Amino acid sequence: MNHLTYRLRDFADLSQSDCDVLDRLSETNRTVFERGSSVVSEGEPVENWHVFYDGWAYHSKQLENGDRQIVGLVIPGDICGLNPAIVQRADHTVTALTRCEVSVIDRKTMKRTLETSSSIDRAMQVATFEIEAIQREWTTNVGHRNAVEGMAHLICEMHFRLRQAKVIDGDRFALPLTQQLIGDCLAISVVHANRTLSELRRLGLIAVSGGAIIILDLDGLYEAGHFDPSYLNIS
């Protein structure tokens, strides 16, 4: 069983044959997207499903003044929420943060698969709803929390999701985001992102080393970010 299938098992009870189907599905049409390249572009037709076998990406919306709001992060094993059966034109862009291996599954194949297995269908729906719940939390994070709280919350979320997805198992993880991009997640300027990160270090909550975040005080970080992971366990 590959790790994508493994991941989707968290979302629904999958039979052995479901798992085989998913394994095959994720291994065909494996496409590589280099760091910085667009997987889906705002305004363009959505033709295929994109399932991230490996690599990170971000969902962003472009603003008039050149700013960019990041509306979601994709980690290995995530599906990209844009459902080509429903969405005609993408309302946002998906960009690879690292080199990504993506299973590009065309609409029809996926349709047939979902019709054949209600468990897989359910797993995809649950995954979609998790994205939705995360989105609501982000609105809250960006809106009502200050920079320190928001950044602590973001780090907690990524740590939790990475552990849940079994991508990591300790309190250290690579975060392939520049401070500019972190700022775009939280809707703060680069300069302020930098100061806020320093503040979290000063508080002894995290350390940073070569693009990796080391969580020094998880409880403290949860508290600082008012992080409550229940939104990540909706089903």
Partner DNA sequence: CGGTGTGTTGAGTGATGTCAAGGAATGTGG
Partner DNA sequence: CCACATTCCTTGACATCACTCAACACACCG
Cα 233 to Cα 129, 132, 133, 228, distances in angstroms: 10, 12, 9, 10
- Cβ atoms of 108 and 66 closer than 8 Å: no
Stretch that binds its own copies, among 29-37, 125-133, 162-170, 192-200 (CB under 8 A): 125-133
Q: What type of residue sits at position 148?
A: V
Cα 5 to Cα 78, 118, 124, 161, distances in angstroms: 11, 15, 11, 16
* Structure tokens that stand for 23 in this block: 């394994």
Q: Does 92 bind its own copies (CB under 8 A)?
A: yes
Select 34 or 132, whichever has its Cβ closest to DNA. Answer: 34
Q: Which does 35 bind (CB under 5 to 8 A by kind): its own copies, DNA, none?
A: none
Closest distance of CB 143 from DNA, Å: 9
Stretch that binds its own copies, among 65-73, 156-164, 167-175, 192-200 (CB under 8 A): 65-73
Give the residues lining the site for DNA (CB under 7 A).
Answer: 146-148, 178-180, 187-192, 194-195, 197-198, 208, 210-211
**Buried b / exposed e across 102-115, counting CB within 10 Å, b at 16+?**
bbebeeeebeebbe
CA–CA dist 188, 147 (Å, integer): 7
Q: Does 16 bind its own copies (CB under 8 A)?
A: no
Closest distance of CB 43 from DNA, Å: 24
Q: Which residues are registered as beta bridge partners of 172?
A: 214
Q: Does 125 bind its own copies (CB under 8 A)?
A: yes
Closest distance of CB 31 from DNA, Å: 22
- Cβ atoms of 162 and 168 closer than 8 Å: yes
Select 113 or 141, whichever has its Cβ closest to DNA. Answer: 141
Which residues of this chain interact with its own copies, rule CB under 8 A?
43, 59, 61, 63-64, 67, 69, 71-72, 81, 83, 85-89, 91-92, 122, 125-126, 128-129, 131-133, 135-140, 142-145, 186-187, 226, 230-231, 234-235
